[in-house]
C-alpha cells in the first residue's frame, strides 16, 4: 500500500469522538463541573439540568420516555444490569440467549448457571441467524428473560428483534437486546421493536468511552447490581459522568439525524472494499449474511472475511497500515478460536479479517487499500 497515514477500519471496536461531540462535552469538564446530585447550589443544578436534557434527547432518539433511560458506564455494565437484575429478583429461573452473543451477555449467563439458574444457549445457522422455532421451543414455565443481540459485533448479522420480542410478549417473558452495534447505526424504536431492555454505549457511535445506558421499559423491575446513593432511581448508584452523558446524548442525536447519509456512505465503501478483496483473492470467503442478497440483515459498515494462510500472507503487506481486527476487540487477547465462528460451524482457520467502516473513512482510504491489494497480486 502506498505510503500515508494509517487507515482506521475497526469501528465495531470503537470510534473516534466526533469533534461536534467533543465541543458539546468540553464545558462540563471545567465550567459546569458540579455533581448532578448536588442540586442545592447553582453548580450542581446546572449539571443536573444537563443530565436532564441529555436523558430527554436519548429517550426521544429511541422513542422512549426519559424515565426509561438509566445511565451506566457502558454496554457491558448495562448487559449485566439487565440480565442479573432480572434474574436476581427470583431464587431460580430460566434464561435464554444465543451462542453468538458478546461475552458481556454470555459470561453473566454462565455466572447465573453457576448459581443454579437454568440457561439455554440457542444455536445459529451458518449466517449467524437465530431460528425462531428453536426459540419458541426453548421457552419453559419458569423462563424469566430472553437476551439476544440486535446485531453481531463480529459478523454484522442483524437479528429480527421485533419477532423475538413478540414471542416473549406472548408468554409474559422479558426481552433484552444488546443494541451496542445498532443504536446510532440503524433505526431503533423501542415501541416498534417491543423490547423491555436495551443496552447501548457512546463509543460505538462517535461518542466518549465510559458512558452508556440501559433502556428499561416502564413496569420492568430490576434488582440493582450495587448500592450506594440511590442514583438513577436506585438502579445504578454512583456519581453521574456528566461530560460523558452530554457526549452520549450529542453523539446519538447526531447519529439519528445523519443515519441515512452515514449508512449509505459506509455501505458504499464497505462494498468497494469487498470488491477489491475478491479481485485480489478470488477464494476469499464472506462470513455472515451476504449484503447483496439481504442488506437489511447485515450492518451497513461490516465486512468479515476468511482467507487461507497463503493468501493471508500474500496480502498482509497491503494491510500493514490498516487497523482492522480478526476478533472482537473485547476478546482479542483471548486464546482459542472465535466463539462466533465456531457457532456458525466455521472454526477459525486461515486468516480472518473484520473491517468496520466508519463515518470518517474516505474513498481515498479504500482506493489506497485497493491499490495495495492489486499490487500484492502482482508480487
Would you say 93 and 172 are in contact if contact means Cβ atoms under 8 Å apart?
no
- In this structure, how many other beta carbons lie within 10 angstroms of the beta carbon of residue 67? 11
Q: What is d(CA 176, CA 196) in angstroms, rounded to the nearest whole number?
A: 6
- In this structure, how many other beta carbons lie within 10 angstroms of the beta carbon of residue 225? 15
Would you say 281 and 246 are in contact if contact means Cβ atoms under 8 Å apart?
no
Would you say 159 and 148 are in contact if contact means Cβ atoms under 8 Å apart?
yes
Residue 175 falls in the annotated catalytic set: no
In the numeric block, the cell 443530565 is attached to 51
Question: Of 18, 76, 10, 121, nearest to 343 (Cα)?
Answer: 121
Would you say 267 and 295 are in contact if contact means Cβ atoms under 8 Å apart?
yes
Report the chain's C-alpha Rg in angstroms: 21
**DSSP state letters, 213-249:** EEEE-TT-----S--SS-TGGGTS-S---HHHHHHHH
Backbone phi, psi, residue 55, to 5°: -60, -45
Q: What is d(CA 215, CA 53) in angstroms, rounded to the nearest whole number?
A: 16
Q: What is d(CA 148, CA 177) in angstroms, rounded to the nearest whole number?
A: 5
**DSSP state letters, 188-214:** --HHHHT-SEEEEEGGGTTS-TT-EEE
* H-helix segments, the chain: 19-25, 27-30, 42-62, 75-87, 103-114, 132-138, 161-170, 190-193, 242-257, 259-280, 309-315, 339-343, 363-378
Kindly list the catalytic residues.
Answer: 330
Amino acid at each position: 500500500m502506498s505510503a500515508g497515514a494509517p487507515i482506521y477500519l475497526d469501528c465495531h471496536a470503537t470510534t473516534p469522538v466526533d469533534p461536534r461531540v467533543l465541543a458539546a462535552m468540553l464545558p462540563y469538564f471545567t465550567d459546569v463541573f458540579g455533581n448532578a446530585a448536588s442540586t442545592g447550589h447553582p453548580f450542581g443544578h446546572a449539571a443536573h439540568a444537563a443530565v436532564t436534557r441529555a436523558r430527554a434527547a436519548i429517550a426521544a432518539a429511541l422513542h422512549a420516555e426519559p424515565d426509561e433511560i438509566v445511565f451506566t458506564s457502558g454496554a457491558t455494565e448495562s448487559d449485566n444490569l439487565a440480565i442479573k437484575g432480572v434474574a436476581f429478583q427470583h431464587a431460580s429461573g430460566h434464561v435464554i440467549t444465543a451462542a453468538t452473543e458478546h461475552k458481556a451477555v454470555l459470561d453473566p449467563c454462565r455466572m447465573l448457571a453457576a448459581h443454579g439458574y437454568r440457561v439455554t444457549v440457542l444455536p445459529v445457522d451458518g449466517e449467524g441467524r437465530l431460528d425462531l422455532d428453536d426459540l419458541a421451543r426453548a421457552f419453559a414455565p419458569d423462563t424469566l428473560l430472553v437476551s439476544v443481540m440486535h446485531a453481531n459485533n463480529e459478523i454484522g448479522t442483524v437479528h429480527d428483534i421485533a419477532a423475538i420480542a413478540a414471542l416473549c410478549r406472548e408468554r409474559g417473558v422479558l426481552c433484552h437486546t444488546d443494541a451496542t452495534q445498532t443504536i446510532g447505526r440503524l433505526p431503533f424504536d423501542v415501541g416498534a421493536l417491543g423490547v423491555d431492555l436495551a443496552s447501548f454505549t457512546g463509543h460505538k457511535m462517535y461518542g466518549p468511552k465510559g458512558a452508556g445506558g440501559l433502556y428499561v421499559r416502564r413496569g420492568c423491575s430490576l434488582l440493582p447490581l450495587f448500592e450506594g446513593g440511590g442514583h438513577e432511581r436506585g438502579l445504578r448508584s454512583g456519581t453521574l459522568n456528566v461530560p460523558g452523558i452530554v457526549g452520549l446524548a450529542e453523539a446519538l442525536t447526531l447519529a439519528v439525524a445523519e443515519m441515512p447519509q452515514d449508512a449509505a456512505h459506509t455501505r458504499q465503501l464497505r462494498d468497494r472494499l469487498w470488491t477489491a478483496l475478491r479481485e485480489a483473492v478470488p477464494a476469499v470467503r464472506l462470513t455472515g449474511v451476504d449484503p447483496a442478497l439481504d442488506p437489511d440483515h447485515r450492518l451497513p459498515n461490516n465486512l468479515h472475511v476468511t482467507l487461507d494462510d497463503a493468501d493471508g500472507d500474500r496480502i498482509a503487506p497491503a494491510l500493514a497500515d490498516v487497523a482492522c481486527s480478526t476478533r472482537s476487540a473485547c476478546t482479542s487477547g483471548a486464546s482459542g478460536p472465535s466463539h462466533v465462528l465456531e457457532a456458525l460451524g466455521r472454526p477459525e482457520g486461515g486468516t480472518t479479517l473484520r473491517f468496520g467502516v466508519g463515518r470518517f473513512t474516505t474513498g481515498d482510504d479504500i482506493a489506497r487499500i485497493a491499490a495495495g491489494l492489486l499490487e500484492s497480486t502482482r508480487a
